[in-house]
Amino acid sequence: MPLLARTVLTPLHIDVRRGAVADLGAILADGRISAGGDVAVVVGPGQGERIAELIRPSLRSADVFTVAGGTLEAADDLGSKLRARSYDAVVGIGGGKTIDVAKYAATRRGLPMVSVATSLAHDGIASPVASLVSEGHKGSYGVHIPIAVIVDLDFVESGPDRTNRAGIGDAVSNISALADWELARQVRGEPVDGLAASLARMGAEAVLAHSGDMTDDVFVTVLAEALISSGLAMAVCGTSRPASGGCHEIMHAVDALYPGTASHGELAGLGALFCTWLRGDRRRFAEMSACLARHHLPRLPADVGLTDDQFVEAVQFAPGTRPDRYTILEHLAMSPSETRERLADYAGAIRDHCG
């Protein structure tokens, strides 16, 4: 992956609470974002459209664009529409696909972007990465991070429970990604950015240790802040390294080989747990396994509809998804038979843990 955009290292405004959307008009009136309210509001079908209607009275000069699907084609099409007039900023309202399309289009037009998240599926809320599908394959594109991030818990609560829970897997996967980064430092001398690592670790540890669930506002706030911190970590060091290791290599491999299997966060959590087992860190493995189980997230290939052979194939394919990255998968360089043996031991440990 190329180096990510670093023009804005921290958003001007971060707001995570109930009723946060009500202040969106005032936030956009900040002269650093929009001097006259000339903004492009990008929404996905569903809650994004509802929010656009709520804020329309305070954004008289705004144009609203609806996008469907997180594709590169949709992002390019939006970019073309943004050239129709002069905008001060782009406001992306919705889930991860909508926000990624808005981030990409805004970056290509050189416009600041405000992220209004209606779900907590993954750390794309504030990251310098847009995950977009092109010709059937998902790719990662470097973009500027949002100039402001708003998460309204009222709208998050109204969203699909499974979608929001998936963000837990993505947040917790930072633990594994950071261990891979440290491994790369030890073996290859790869530099580790301490601030970026601290930001990524802080949120992951908070989610891992919290006893609440998605019905608890305090826990949901912790999760939202963890995902935002993960995005900021990537912006600080200019790469996705603090939040993407072997866990995400496995996720990208499953996406490539078996598209539509499960969500980003679900696969990241599963990949992180497996990589932690490979790493031999049994304490971390037990903590992460308990967390994923508590939140009803997948821990075994069968939990996402994969056979053991399919998962082994994905693990073998995984290093090729990030050729420049060194993780526990590259370090062990397991053969298919070795991967199958490790997976059997891993599955046995999961069953023992359940017992």
Nearest to 9 by CA among 212, 193, 174, 139: 193
Q: Tell me, what's the pLDDT at 5? A: 44
By the 8 A CB rule, do 318 and 250 touch?
A: yes
HSE-up (13 A, CA, CB side) for residue 246: 28
Residues of the chain by 3-state class (helix, strand, coil), percent to 5: 60, 10, 30
Nearest-10 Cα torsion for 80, 86, 88, 94: -30
How do residues 6-32 score in pLDDT, each as one tens digit?
Answer: 444 567 789 999 988 888 878 877 777
Q: Tell me, what's the pLDDT at 47? A: 72
Phi, psi angles (nearest 5°) of residue 113: -130, 135
Residue whose pair of structure tokens reads 């609470």 in the numeric block: 17
- What SS3 class is residue 79? helix
Q: Which residues in the chain land under pLDDT 50? A: 1-3, 5-8, 355
How do residues 233-254 score in pLDDT, each as one tens digit?
Answer: 999 999 999 999 999 999 999 9
Pairing state of beta strands 13-17 and 129-134? unpaired
Q: Tell me, what's the pLDDT at 266? A: 98
338 to 12, 309, 333: CA distances (angstroms): 49, 12, 9
Q: Tell me, what's the pLDDT at 7? A: 44
